[in-house]
Structure 1
Amino acid sequence: MNKRIGHPSIELGKSLDNKECREVLAPPLFAIPSKSNYDPITGFGQQSALLSSSYPTGNTFLVHCSVSRVDKNKYNLTFQAEDAETVSMIAVKVTSSRTSNYHIFDAIRGGMNAKLSKKAGHYVGKLRQDRGQPVGCYTLYNSSREKEQTAAYLYDVPKVMKKLTEGQPPRKMQAVIPKDVGRGGVGKAGSFLEYLHSGTWKNHGLLALCTRSPTFQDGHYRLNFSGRVLEPSVKNMQLEASGEVLLQFGKVDEDTFHLDYKASSRASRLPVVSHKDFPYFDAPSL
């Protein structure tokens, strides 16, 4: 029994001699979406270059991004490419809300210094903890008049006593997104979280993902991030579906995380949850 006092963390991207970790290889190239090619049917904001544009056909590489904390209520997502905009997406916490909500803005269209508002033309959606939902449940809504759901995320929140006796465990999360790359939201008739809880997501054309389990070795939990993670943290994680990693999120420094996601539209809704991932636990767990 490996019962420990303290804070175990996910080790930086060390390679381990097992099949599970060898599957995650450094991508040979990466790309950003074309900011001039907007698809109004994808359902998450008609102007968002990050979440509603097309990639070249057949691409399965990882898109390299970074998420930085500007202050306690504002986070920027940046594409790591020579010809990319400085900041591509901005998430701003709604401080007046009793629950933890974030407005998402398209900085490519509006510019990072533009006034962030719903009427400015670059508002793309909202990440929200709905009333009545348990702690750790979040839904992503688009900017349409109907406020359609386009993704949902469920964190496994550890019990306080377990954290005190065994330390902060590695992050565990589930997500559900549309499986069809051209599909938008589902409206208010159904709930992505309900489908996830009941295990009926397949009946509604959705794809479910979960965190890849790390390997515990030499007192640390380990995942192979192929050099994209520089500091150990319980927030370092990879989301996978059927053994395929669609997103990885890893710490670089106190205010920056690398975020890489699979270059297909079905995975493009996943980076939004990274803004919620920053403050989810108390600061010492970063």
Structure 2
Amino acid sequence: MEASRCRLGPRGDSAFEDETMKLRQLKLDNQRALLEKKQRKKRLEPLMVQPNPEARLRRSKPRVGSSATEEDTEGSVDGESTVDTAPKPDLQEILQKHGISGSLNFDEEETDGEEEGKKLCHSPYSDAERPNSASSQKSTTDTGAYGTAAQQSDNQLGEVENLEDFAYSPAPRGITVKCRITRDKKGMDRGLFPTYYMHLEKDENRKIFLLAGRKRKKSKTSNYLISTDPTDLSREGESYIGKLRSNLMGTKFTVYDHGVSPAKAQGLVEKAYTRQELAAICYETNVLGFKGPRKMSVIIPGMNMNHERIPFRPRNDHESLLSKWQNKTMENLIELHNKSPVWNDDTQSYVLNFHGRVTQASVKNFQIVHENDPDYIVMQFGRVADDVFTLDYNYPLCALQAFAIGLSSFDSKLACE
């Protein structure tokens, strides 16, 4: 009898292990289902940033004696198609009260005085650096101008020959680099630690892989490793290109290249490549619990006369991008902010004009601009499906900076919600 029990022992252990694995998988599936249900419910709230549905109205001739508003002049750029209606005065009043009627790219007829005022306003970018998609000038056709600009950008961008060089190089001036981010939650633990892939969108629905990123599991703070190889996301891998690291609260992030930290570099016998800081992302804390869209600032190194990024290698925390920004010592640095969405009384939601590149509401939807030139969209990011997002960026950002900024929006921010 005893011998029989011994023979059955290994089978019993195996069955027990199988049962344990099944229970663990069931628990993970339940957690993932609850999380997805919560996210779907959250996206229905009016506090999500919506693509502006009124920007997709059919073009009609502007009425005599009035400026052409977005309802009159914008082609099919965002949201669901709707029947052409007259402009809503209450929305216009809200925009004028906030002084941000230009923030939704209203294509208004400009007077000579307005044109002179725009020329006097200092902008960090020249006209050549501004892509057509960021311009607020009136197009000659309904949607042709935006499509033509996209085709021209695709031709001028050319093929990606070296992923690492492309990832580090600023976007060509005057060209919008259009990308797509996909989130992969499949697998045992990817519901909690998904992998993110960045692809360059080309014509004829072609996609070119650029970067992949994944959150490290055993880290005190959020830490994302970024690689040019989708199959190797290790720190020691040859394709490791940079990382995104947050503070304990998840409100401040720093983007590094693949170099070593200054502390480790000092201890090495051979001269090591000290890492560069490529960007810092700061989300405004919400300690009082006020509801509304996220507010974020992005700090990046400045550009030299040859339109190349100025290397920024701090030797300690006091010289970091975050420290410089907090101390307002911004020499050779560029400070960017997210564009403030506008509250729409009709839809009871915050709206932004993403020119058709964003189709679903999400707290992650945002546009990055410089305060001196709010019409020039340096970067925009938004949801088009449950696990698919578009990411478009312009000069002076590079692919690695843009991807890391997008990754920071996925990270949970307890102090910001």
Q: How does the TM-score come out when normalised to structure 1? A: 0.78
Q: What is the aligned partner in structure 2 of residue 106 from structure 1? A: 228
Q: How many residues align?
A: 252
Choose the corresponding residue for 1:258, options 377, 386, 390: 390
Q: How does 1:83-162 map to 2 (within 5 A)?
A: 86-107=208-229, 112=230, 114-130=231-247, 134-145=249-260, 146-159=274-287, 161-162=289-290
Structure 1 residue 240, shift from structure 2 partner: 0.4
2:250–2:411 contact (8 Å) kept in structure 1: no
Letter of the aligned partner of 2:361 in structure 1?
A: P
SS at match of 1:121: coil
Distance in 2 between the 1:106 and 1:232 partners? Answer: 30
Structure 1 residue 253, shift from structure 2 partner: 1.2
Q: Does 1:22 align with 2:105?
A: yes
Q: Does 1:10 align with 2:49?
A: yes
2:170–2:397 contact (8 Å) kept in structure 1: no
The structure that is helix-richer by fraction is 2
Any idea what the Cα deviations from partners look like across 1:144-180, whole Å, max 9, x if unmatched? 2322212111011323733xxx4xx212110101121
2:104–2:352 contact (8 Å) kept in structure 1: yes
Distance in 1 between the 2:46 and 2:171 partners? Answer: 40
Q: What is the aligned partner in structure 2 of residue 213 from structure 1? A: 340
Choose the corresponding residue for 2:360, options 197, 209, 231: 231
Q: Quick check: which has more Rg, 1 or 2? A: 2
Letter of the aligned partner of 1:36 in structure 2?
A: E
Any idea what the Cα deviations from partners look like across 1:112-160, whole Å, max 9, x if unmatched? 3x333334321111101246xx540111111123222121110113237
Distance in 2 between the 1:93 and 1:188 partners? Answer: 26
Distance in 2 between the 1:91 and 1:128 partners? Answer: 12
Q: How does the TM-score come out when normalised to structure 2? A: 0.55
Distance in 2 between the 1:80 and 1:188 partners? Answer: 38
Distance in 2 between the 1:187 and 1:92 partners? Answer: 25
Structure 1 residue 48, shift from structure 2 partner: 1.8
SS at match of 2:160: coil
Q: Are the structure 2 counterparts of residues 271 and 117 from structure 1 closer, same or farther at C-alpha, using a change threshold of 3 Å? A: closer
Distance in 2 between the 1:33 and 1:208 partners? Answer: 29
Q: What is the aligned partner in structure 2 of residue 191 from structure 1? A: 320
Distance in 2 between the 1:103 and 1:231 partners? Answer: 28
Choose the corresponding residue for 1:75, options 176, 184, 196: 196
Any idea what the Cα deviations from partners look like across 1:220-245, whole Å, max 9, x if unmatched? 11110001111111221101012222
The RMSD of aligned alpha carbons is 2.6
Q: Are the structure 2 counterparts of residues 50 and 212 from structure 1 closer, same or farther at C-alpha, using a change threshold of 3 Å? A: same
SS at match of 1:120: coil
SS at match of 2:310: coil
Question: Which blocks of at least 5 consecutive residues in structure 2 are unaligned?
Answer: 1-44, 56-68, 71-100, 107-133, 136-145, 186-190, 261-273
Q: Are the structure 2 counterparts of residues 54 and 211 from structure 1 closer, same or farther at C-alpha, using a change threshold of 3 Å? A: closer
Q: What is the aligned partner in structure 1 of residue 86 from structure 2? A: none
Q: Are the structure 2 counterparts of residues 271 and 115 from structure 1 closer, same or farther at C-alpha, using a change threshold of 3 Å? A: closer
Q: Does 1:176 align with 2:304?
A: no
The structure that is strand-richer by fraction is 1
Question: Which blocks of at least 5 consecutive residues in structure 1 are unaligned?
Answer: 1-5, 38-46
* Larger RCO (CA under 8 A, 6+ residues apart): 1
Distance in 1 between the 2:198 and 2:285 partners? Answer: 25
Distance in 2 between the 1:99 and 1:255 partners? Answer: 24
Letter of the aligned partner of 2:366 in structure 1?
A: M
Distance in 2 between the 1:77 and 1:183 partners? Answer: 25
